[in-house]
Amino acid sequence: MSSPSTELRTCTYNIHKGVCTASKRPILPELRHAIRTVDADLVFLQEVVGEHSATALVSAFRRAGVFSYPQFEYLADEVWPHHAYGRNAIYQRGHHGNAILSKNQFLHWDNFDVSQWWFSQRGILLGKLAMGVYVVCVHFGLFSRERKKQLQKLLALLAKKVPDNMPLIIAGDFNDWKGKLHRRLVDEMSFQEAYSTVYGRPARTFPARLPFFSMDRIYYRNLKLIDAEVLSGAPWRRLSDHRALYAVFDIAGIESFSN
């Protein structure tokens, strides 16, 4: 019998609702294949469609070989047996939000509304895994004032829900191209950011074809980082408008937190 892995492989990706930004073609099968090649234990997803009844879109996805909704169930099928979904943006014919796919069981999870305005619906998806790690998936707003308030709500949630000594990963699309949230999380709140730990600055992940802005992050505390990278080259530059971000953590000895 092989011994359990002492590594926790994580990936965060804004999938743009499974539609190619250039051709507007449904690409969920290609997305699923790409994500699976990473072999992550945890996948944090943003802009995941939970339901959509628009006939044209449903027909287009069926032609692409996708016959089921929600998208996170299609992506997770047979690889990630456990998943959580937070419905954020709700419209007449459906909804989309954040999702976490996991090979480890969730003990519990919940979605928290942090929307500042009706036209920008956002949420924070927070859960605890059976292995003892807390996980948070976020997609913050486009406006500086909006993001500042959403960060305040995130920190308040963590103070209430997550003990200071517990392993914690916060991943997602922070839309923080100016780095204001990053400085507060790292300098004031003592979080570490995976790519910054390795390379000295947050990764450039947007736009995918020629990344210039740092939008996507993986923050952590009470964990040991092994490595981090931006997933580049084919197919990552043509699937979504974001690049995916990947990080590996050493979880040797972490079982003491799961009791």
Mean pLDDT of 240-250: 96
Instruction: Note the pTM of the prediction, 2 decimals.
Output: 0.90
Domain boundaries, the chain: 9-250
Position 52 pLDDT exceeds 80: no
Residue 114 pLDDT: 93
Q: pLDDT per residue over 12-48, tens digit each?
A: 999 988 776 666 677 888 999 999 999 999 999 999 9
Burial class (CB in 10 A: 0-12, 13-18, 19+), 149: middle
3-17, 53-67, 154-168, 202-216: range with lowest mean pLDDT? 53-67
Position 3 pLDDT exceeds 50: no
Q: SS3 for 53-90, per residue?
A: CCHHHHHHHHHCCCCCCCHHHHHHCCCCCEEEEEEEEE
Which carries the bigger pLDDT value, residue 94 or residue 114? Answer: 114
Residue 55 pLDDT: 47
Position 259 pLDDT exceeds 60: no
Does domain 9-250 fall into CATH 3.30.9.40?
Answer: no
Q: How confident is the model at residue 1 (pLDDT cuts 50, 70, 90)?
A: very low
List C-alpha distances in Å: 213 to 4, 209, 216, 240.
Answer: 37, 12, 9, 15
Position 212 pLDDT exceeds 90: yes
- Cross-strand pairs, 91: 94
CA–CA gap between residue 61 and residue 71 (Å, rounded): 10
Which carries the bigger pLDDT value, residue 183 or residue 22? Answer: 183
Question: What do you get for the CA distance between the two ends of the chain, in Å?
Answer: 24
